[in-house]
């Protein structure tokens, strides 16, 4: 049975469905030698190329949905490439065969914490759709006096430049003086929304960490710059939230021996990635020597 081209490419991990539609509209995709158009459908034996390079297309039965939880450090951007040479969130991720990781949403350069990646672009596309209203929780350190009236307004709602917004919950989490920690939750993912909400009360955000996405929490043992593959139970929780059929396969071992071994291998990969990335980042920060 034929399927829409953008859906097949997204499911295979070449990008989100929205990205694939943009690529098709730009003439970057061909089917059996002919430039593709939006709405084209493909059969399983079709030869599909992106920018002239043959790419893998698979049926839903052939694709294993994988999800990574990544501990994004501050200073990384959520783009695949950056013309300014800044570090991207994709640089430390493991390779995925016949596809690529797709980020589920974004965190701005000065925000750290939980960022999810999946090999299934259709899953990413659905999770990012505003209609699903998946709750996000952030730990926020504020600088400035926060009154009860400020907190009440943040709960009830304020008007930002792109419309009304509010936190579903605002909970004090300690601190000293005018440096206070809060835990806030909201179900939207608008650009810099958490910071802008606090700034509407003339309160500065000095630290922002995403600690939860839906029921997926940032693992306490996961170092900044580290990643961990989610087990099948959590993968299917996300698929259920997105209205997709459950996955019944996983790259993770199910018996204790293979699970323990996978944890050791994964920990070693994380340590290597963090060390390698720290070395590269430090090298980028060093000023180049000028010849006299």
Task: Examine the domain organization and report whether 112 and 209 are in the same domain.
Answer: no
Number of domains present in the structure of the chain: 3
In this predicted structure, what is the pLDDT of residue 164? 93
Sign of the torsion formed by the C-alpha atoms of 104, 166, 154 and 216:
negative
More confident residue, 144 or 62: 144
**Per-residue pLDDT tens over the stretch 163-212:** 999 999 999 998 888 899 999 999 987 889 999 999 999 999 999 999 99
Burial class (CB in 10 A: 0-12, 13-18, 19+), 288: exposed
- Please tell me whether residues 115 and 230 are part of one structural domain: yes
DSSP states of 229-286: EPPHHHHHHHHHHTT-PPP---SS--SHHHHHHHHHHHHHHHHHHHHHHHHHHHHHHS
β partners of residue 164: 159
Distance CA 137, CA 72 (A): 15
Q: Are residue 227 and residue 276 in the same domain, yes or no?
A: yes
Task: Give residue 194's pLDDT.
Answer: 95
Residues 100 and 167 in one domain: no
Determine, yes or no, domain membership for 160.
yes
82/205 same-domain check? no
- Tell me, yes or no, whether 116 lies in a domain: yes
SS3 (DSSP) at 81: coil
Catalytic residues: 108
**pLDDT tens figures, 69-80:** 999 999 999 988
Same domain flag for 139 and 198? yes
Is residue 33, in this structure, part of any structural domain at all?
yes
pLDDT at 260 over 50: no
Is residue 292 a part of any domain in this protein?
no
Per-residue pLDDT at 261: 43
CATH code of residue 199: 3.30.2350.10
Say what the pLDDT of residue 189 is.
76
The residue assigned the tokens 């996961």 is: 222
- The answer on 247 and 110 residing in a single domain is yes
Q: Tell me which of 166, 182, 213 is where a domain ends.
A: 213
Span 65-92, mean pLDDT?
A: 92
Question: Domain check: are 122 and 155 in the same one?
Answer: no
Residues 118 and 229 reside in one and the same domain:
yes
Shared-domain flag, residues 121 and 164: no
Query: 140 in a domain, yes or no?
Result: yes
Q: What is the DSSP letter of 208?
A: E
Any domain includes 9: yes
Band (pLDDT 50/70/90 cuts) for residue 255 is: very low
CATH code assigned at 39: 3.10.290.10
Distance from C-alpha of 195 to C-alpha of 67, rounded to nearest angstrom: 27
Instruction: State the residue range of the domain holding 228.
Output: 67-130+217-285
- If one compares 62 and 202, the residue with the highest pLDDT of the two is 202
Residue 61 lies in a domain: no
């Amino acid at each position: 049975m034929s399927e829409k081209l953008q859906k097949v490419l997204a499911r295979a991990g070449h990008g989100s469905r929205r990205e694939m539609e943009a690529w098709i509209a730009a003439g970057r995709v061909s089917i059996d030698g002919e430039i593709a158009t939006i709405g084209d459908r493909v059969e399983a034996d079709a030869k599909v190329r992106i920018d002239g390079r043959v790419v893998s297309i698979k049926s839903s039965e052939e694709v294993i949905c994988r999800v990574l939880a990544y501990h994004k450090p501050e200073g990384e951007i959520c783009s695949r490439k950056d013309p300014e040479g800044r570090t991207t969130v994709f640089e430390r991720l493991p390779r995925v065969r016949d596809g690529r990781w797709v980020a589920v949403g974004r965190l701005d350069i000065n925000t750290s914490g939980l960022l999810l990646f999946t090999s299934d672009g259709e899953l990413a596309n659905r999770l990012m759709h505003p209609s699903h209203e998946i709750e996000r929780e952030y730990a926020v350190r504020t600088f400035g006096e926060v009154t009860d009236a400020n907190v009440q307004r943040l709960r009830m709602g304020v008007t930002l430049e792109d419309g009304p917004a509010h936190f579903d919950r605002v909970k004090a989490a300690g601190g000293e003086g005018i440096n206070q920690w809060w835990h806030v939750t909201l179900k939207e993912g608008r650009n810099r929304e958490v910071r802008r909400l606090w700034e509407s009360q003339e309160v500065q955000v000095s630290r922002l960490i995403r600690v939860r996405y839906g029921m997926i929490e940032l693992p306490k043992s996961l170092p900044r710059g580290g990643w961990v593959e989610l087990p099948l139970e959590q993968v299917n929780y996300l698929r259920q939230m997105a209205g997709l059929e459950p996955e019944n396969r996983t790259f993770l071992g199910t018996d204790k021996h293979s699970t323990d071994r996978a944890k050791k291998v994964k920990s070693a990969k994380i340590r290597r990635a963090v060390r390698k990335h720290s070395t590269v980042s430090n090298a980028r920060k060093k000023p180049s020597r000028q010849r006299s």
